[in-house]
Amino acid sequence: MMYPYLTLGDGTEVVHSELIDDELGGRVLVHFERPGRNGFDSVRFELPSYDMEVWEGGFSEEELQSLREFLASNAHLLFRYAAEGGLKIA
């Protein structure tokens, strides 16, 4: 299951998985997607490794670096909300 996290200023939607238990203490998948000229630009990162998988479209290298920085600043919250079943908004 994927949970909404937030929408960035350029319209990129950020969603995350539930906490995926593994032998290393858990991981979270974080997906970024925005409308593009020919469909969608999509990329997925896995935390805590920061491994990346580009699905379609194209984020520039500069944009990917910005997303990595975003993840570094938000990883603790993403793990927390993943463990709690998503962000609870009234």
The span from the first CA to the last CA of the chain, in angstroms, equals 20
My answer on whether omega of the bond before 48 falls inside 30° of 0, hence cis, is yes
Instruction: Give residue limits of the domains in the chain.
Output: 2-83
pTM of the model: 0.89
Question: Using alpha carbons only, what angle is made at residue 28 by residues 59 and 46, rounded to the nearest 5 degrees?
Answer: 40
Give the model confidence (pLDDT) of 16-73 as tens digits.
999 998 877 799 999 999 998 888 899 999 999 999 987 777 889 999 999 999 999 9
